[in-house]
């Protein structure tokens, strides 16, 4: 009897356990079914929380960030004077980076040869002046001698004429002699007159030749003085000196990767060779690039805030002068990260600016009134159509949106209501993970069916 009584409570306990197990399984199946229904309408968050942001309605100004480098649009080459006679030697040269004013001497060449030419030309002038004086004196003496001879021959002709007038009183032979003497006196007078014309032309030619020699010497002395003045190469405008590379230092041989020294004092320079260049600091501009995606946000004339890396704490202003229509192509054409060339000009020159400085640019674009914005991270374009994940209950729903403008940090959109919460990461990708192994069938105890 005691054995039967103790066995009934044990049977009741087993039945109770089976009923509890069946209830738990039914509850689990019901929960799984509900979860499946929920997943059909929205993406459920995983274990990690998904960051969200709200859609905001604001007044927004487009801003495009870019980098650039300062360059000058106006440079003036400074060359050695084109003077024949060999190379010129530099005796003075301002170093690169020197700021000069208009009229300052930048390069000075040795003028010794030109000073010698000046002295030689001065000597030629003195010699030519003496030759002119001598030629004039000789012409005066010759003219006096010719006048004396002219009077003598004219007297001889007159005397012969008088003798001929006496032919009626003398014999025929003497009369013939008188006629011959008159003819000879006339021929002598005519020859003298012809010689006087020749002497006059010869003397004038000698004077002219000496005068030409004097003019040549004067031209030489003027050229020598001009060449001496050109030995000093002066700055035509205010600017910055940049010394050129000395291509003659390698003897005319150059190969890729070779570094050439700059010109320095003592170097020989060929006539007409460029020694330095002068950069006009009043015509500086910035050559920059913007991302291809930001091309539509940049227009010519847009104001630009400029921060030069070499001048910390200073902010300059400018405007977009030019912006390319297409991205610069590489070897295989523009890529995903292609850049568009842009040129920015300063509103006002500044003496602290130098070519080659790097600059950070902020292009201030259109003012947009009462627009909807979300962080750029909230936009996903996985299928070719921009979309966002809107928070819905405990999950997220995918919705297509229209992008009006897109910047580096913000997207201006249409299609959502203000204060709507959107995911900043893709919840579908966050939930994706390694597949879990399927649960094994429950192991029943002895006698289980």
* Mean per-residue pLDDT over the chain, rounded: 82
Statement to judge: residues 294 and 420 lie in one domain: yes
Q: How far apart are CA 367 and CA 282, in angstroms?
A: 31
Q: How far apart are CA 155 and CA 424, in angstroms?
A: 133
pLDDT of residue 384: 77
The CATH number of the domain where 312 resides is what?
2.40.30.170
Whether the pLDDT of residue 149 is over 80: the answer is yes
Are 187 and 219 a contacting pair, CB within 8 Å? no
Residue 443 in domain: no
Whether the pLDDT of residue 434 is over 60: the answer is no
Statement to judge: residues 102 and 236 lie in one domain: yes
Q: What are 389-428's pLDDT values in tens digits?
A: 999 888 899 898 998 888 878 899 998 999 999 999 988 8
Q: What are 314-359's pLDDT values in tens digits?
A: 999 999 999 998 776 555 555 556 889 999 999 998 989 999 999 9
- Mean pLDDT, residues 14-30 taken together: 46
Please tell me the total count of domains within the chain.
3
* Of 6-15, 76-85, 246-255, the least confident: 6-15
Statement to judge: residues 423 and 355 lie in one domain: yes
Residue 414 in domain: yes
Domain residues for the domain of 82 are 75-110+232-249+262-279
Statement to judge: residues 243 and 299 lie in one domain: no
Residue 37 in domain: no
Statement to judge: residues 93 and 236 lie in one domain: yes
Residue 324 in domain: yes
- Mean pLDDT, residues 146-152 taken together: 92
Are 442 and 62 a contacting pair, CB within 8 Å? no
User: Does 408 or 371 have the greater pLDDT score?
Assistant: 371
| Confidence band, pLDDT 50/70/90 cuts, at residue 168 | confident
Statement to judge: residues 381 and 419 lie in one domain: yes
User: Does 249 or 204 have the greater pLDDT score?
Assistant: 204
Q: What is the percentage of the chain residues whose pLDDT exceeds 90?
A: 51
Residue 14 in domain: no
Statement to judge: residues 240 and 312 lie in one domain: no
Rg over alpha carbons for the chain, rounded to the nearest Å, is 54
Beta bridge partners of 69: 287, 358
Q: What are 246-293's pLDDT values in tens digits?
A: 887 766 666 666 778 899 999 999 899 999 999 998 899 999 999 887
Backbone phi, psi, residue 358, to 5°: -90, 150
Q: How far apart are CA 46 and CA 430, in angstroms?
A: 7
pLDDT of residue 84: 76
User: Does 84 or 395 have the greater pLDDT score?
Assistant: 395
User: Does 397 or 32 have the greater pLDDT score?
Assistant: 397
pLDDT of residue 343: 95
Statement to judge: residues 94 and 171 lie in one domain: no
| Confidence band, pLDDT 50/70/90 cuts, at residue 296 | confident
Residue 406 in domain: yes
The CATH number of the domain where 245 resides is what?
2.40.50.100
Whether the pLDDT of residue 364 is over 90: the answer is yes
* Of 24-38, 219-233, 300-314, the least confident: 24-38
pLDDT of residue 394: 83
Statement to judge: residues 303 and 404 lie in one domain: yes
Q: In what order do the strands lie in the sheet with 274-279?
A: 75-79, 274-279, 239-243, 99-100
| Confidence band, pLDDT 50/70/90 cuts, at residue 102 | very high
Residue 89 in domain: yes
Whether the pLDDT of residue 78 is over 90: the answer is yes
Statement to judge: residues 99 and 65 lie in one domain: no
Backbone phi, psi, residue 423, to 5°: -80, 145
- Mean pLDDT, residues 20-48 taken together: 48
Are 422 and 374 a contacting pair, CB within 8 Å? yes
Statement to judge: residues 242 and 118 lie in one domain: no
Residue 30 in domain: no
Statement to judge: residues 358 and 392 lie in one domain: yes
């Amino acid at each position: 009897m005691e054995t039967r009584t103790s066995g009934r409570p044990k049977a009741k306990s087993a039945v109770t356990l089976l009923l509890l197990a069946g209830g738990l399984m039914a509850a689990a199946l019901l929960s799984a079914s509900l979860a499946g229904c929920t997943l059909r309408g929205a993406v459920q968050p995983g274990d990690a929380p998904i960051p969200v942001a709200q859609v905001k309605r604001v007044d927004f100004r487009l801003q495009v960030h870019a980098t650039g480098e300062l360059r000058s649009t106006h440079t003036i080459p400074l060359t050695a004077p084109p003077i024949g006679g060999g190379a010129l030697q530099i005796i003075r040269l301002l170093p690169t980076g020197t700021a000069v004013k208009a009229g300052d001497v930048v390069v000075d060449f040795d003028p010794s040869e030109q000073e010698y030419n000046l002295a030689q030309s001065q000597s030629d002038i003195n010699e030519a002046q003496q030759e002119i004086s001598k030629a004039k004196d000789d012409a005066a003496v010759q003219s006096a001698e010719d006048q004396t001879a002219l009077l003598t021959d004219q007297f001889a002709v007159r005397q012969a004429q008088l003798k001929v007038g006496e032919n009626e009183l003398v014999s025929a032979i003497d009369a013939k002699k008188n006629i011959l003497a008159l003819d000879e006196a006339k021929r002598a007078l005519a020859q003298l007159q012809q010689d006087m014309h020749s002497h006059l032309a010869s003397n004038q030619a000698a004077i002219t030749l000496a005068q030409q020699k004097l003019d040549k010497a004067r031209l030489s002395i003027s050229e020598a003085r001009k060449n001496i003045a050109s030995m000093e190469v002066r700055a035509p405008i205010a600017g910055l000196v940049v010394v050129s590379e000395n291509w003659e230092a390698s003897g005319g041989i150059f190969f890729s990767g070779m570094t050439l020294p700059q010109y320095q004092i003592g170097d020989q320079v060929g006539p007409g060779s460029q020694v330095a260049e002068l950069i006009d600091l009043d015509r500086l501009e910035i050559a920059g690039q913007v991302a291809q995606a930001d091309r539509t946000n940049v227009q010519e004339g847009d104001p630009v805030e400029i921060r030069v890396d070499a001048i910390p704490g200073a902010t300059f202003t400018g405007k977009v002068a030019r912006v390319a229509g297409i991205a610069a192509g590489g070897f295989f054409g523009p890529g995903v990260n292609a850049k568009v060339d842009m040129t920015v000009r300063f509103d006002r020159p500044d003496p602290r600016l130098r070519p080659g400085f790097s600059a950070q640019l902020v292009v201030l674009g259109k003012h947009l009134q009462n627009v909807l914005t979300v962080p750029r991270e909230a936009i996903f374009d996985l299928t070719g159509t921009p979309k966002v994940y809107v928070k819905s209950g405990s999950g997220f729903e995918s919705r297509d949106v229209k992008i009006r403008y897109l910047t580096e940090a913000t997207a201006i959109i249409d299609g959502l209501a203000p204060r709507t919460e959107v995911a900043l990461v893709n919840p579908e990708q966050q939930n994706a993970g390694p597949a879990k192994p399927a649960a094994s069938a429950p192991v029943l105890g002895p006698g289980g069916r």
